[in-house]
């Protein structure tokens, strides 16, 4: 029977997704991704596999070229920057994502990060844990301006939630103008060659010195060296990042030890509701792709 590789770490043998796939006659192979995995390890995991339901593995041209039986890959998320789509297309492998699958979860999380920054919640809790009793003034979201970078499903959900808190969410501004008027800048766009290091030293210099940067999209959109320097020197007030260029965050990352920068562990989309939806919809998309009619393909046979 065709074998399906499942690497998304919250999907397990005997769960709803597994039952769905095995009920259709597929053999499943669970090899959850936790931390980094080498190309060789991924090639080994893909041996004999027809379809793959994957997390954020680097599905490079080298890896895909050695997966001789692979015909479809589905990311249980919204981005495909970890997959070499062009190489997959040349090899006849369809690549799909699940657009909007965790949009509500990420939008709610984004509002949480705004509150974290506005009230220095991490700093306050850390101070209490260390034995002190910090009582510093924060500031309210009401009346502030949130600049949203991106127009996708998450960006569309963030706007109304932010407005419910009394934030102003301008639309239609050029990036330079948006950076200049915003008290918070929140990133909700895909990582592409055009957006890599979109937020660089020049972009950060256009922001208010009191502004905070929020990133729940992809780490590579922000130049981490420039951000660390900008926060350390007071060019901007701080940043809350759910993503980093290298994950897990290396011990020597420039983001570590910078007062005002808080890094979380890429969990914006990780709610019980979003995970369940991503698992079952990903499995359905994979079955459809193997049958030749994927609904959300971003690449396919040339």
Return the active site residues: 218, 247, 266
Kind of pairing, strands 27-30 and 3-6? parallel
d(Cα 198, Cα 126) in Å, to the nearest integer? 32
Kind of pairing, strands 297-299 and 94-96? antiparallel
- Backbone torsions φ then ψ of 259, nearest 5 degrees: -60, 125
Kind of pairing, strands 72-75 and 261-263? unpaired
Q: Which residues of 118-127 are buried (b: 16+ CB within 10 A; e: fewer)?
A: bbbeebbeee
Contact assessment for residue 206 and residue 235, using Cβ atoms and an 8 Å cutoff: no
d(Cα 258, Cα 82) in Å, to the nearest integer? 28
Report DSSP state, residue 250. P
Question: Distance between terminal CA atoms of the chain?
Answer: 27
Contacts of the segment 177-182: beta carbons below 8 A, 24+ positions apart: 178/147, 178/149, 179/147, 179/203, 179/206, 179/207, 180/206, 180/207, 180/208, 181/145, 181/147, 182/145, 182/146, 182/147, 182/207, 182/208, 182/211
Contacts of 230 (CB under 8 A, 6+ apart): 201, 204, 205, 236
Question: Where is 5: in which H helix or E strand?
Answer: strand 3-6
- How many residues does the structure list for the chain? 302
């Amino acid at each position: 029977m065709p074998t399906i590789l499942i690497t998304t770490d919250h999907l397990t043998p005997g769960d709803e997704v597994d039952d769905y796939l095995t009920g259709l006659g597929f053999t499943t192979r669970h090899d959850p991704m936790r931390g980094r995995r080498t190309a060789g390890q991924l090639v080994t995991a893909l041996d004999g596999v027809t379809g793959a339901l994957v997390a954020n593995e680097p599905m490079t041209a080298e890896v895909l070229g050695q997966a001789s039986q692979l015909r479809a890959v589905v990311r249980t998320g919204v981005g495909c920057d970890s997959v070499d789509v062009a190489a997959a297309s040349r090899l006849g492998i369809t690549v799909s994502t699940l657009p909007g699958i965790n949009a509500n979860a990420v939008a709610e999380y984004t509002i949480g990060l705004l509150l974290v920054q506005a009230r220095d919640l991490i700093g306050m809790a850390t101070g209490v844990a260390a034995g002190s009793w910090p009582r510093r003034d924060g500031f309210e979201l009401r009346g502030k301006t949130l600049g949203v970078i991106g127009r996708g499903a998450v960006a569309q959900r963030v706007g109304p939630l932010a407005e419910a808190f009394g934030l102003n969410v301008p639309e239609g501004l050029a990036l330079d103008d948006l950076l200049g008027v915003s008290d918070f800048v929140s990133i909700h766009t895909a990582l592409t060659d055009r957006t890599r290091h979109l937020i660089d030293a020049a972009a950060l210099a256009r922001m208010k010195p009191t502004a905070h940067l929020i990133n729940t999209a992809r780490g590579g959109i922000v130049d981490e060296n420039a951000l660390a320097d900008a926060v350390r020197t007071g060019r901007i007030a701080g940043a809350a990042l759910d993503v980093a260029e290298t994950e897990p965050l290396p011990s020597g990352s420039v983001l570590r030890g910078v007062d005002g920068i808080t890094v979380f562990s890429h969990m914006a989309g990780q709610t019980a509701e979003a995970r369940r939806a991503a698992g079952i919809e990903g499995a359905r998309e994979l079955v459809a792709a193997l049958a030749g009619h994927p609904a959300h393909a971003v690449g396919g046979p040339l």
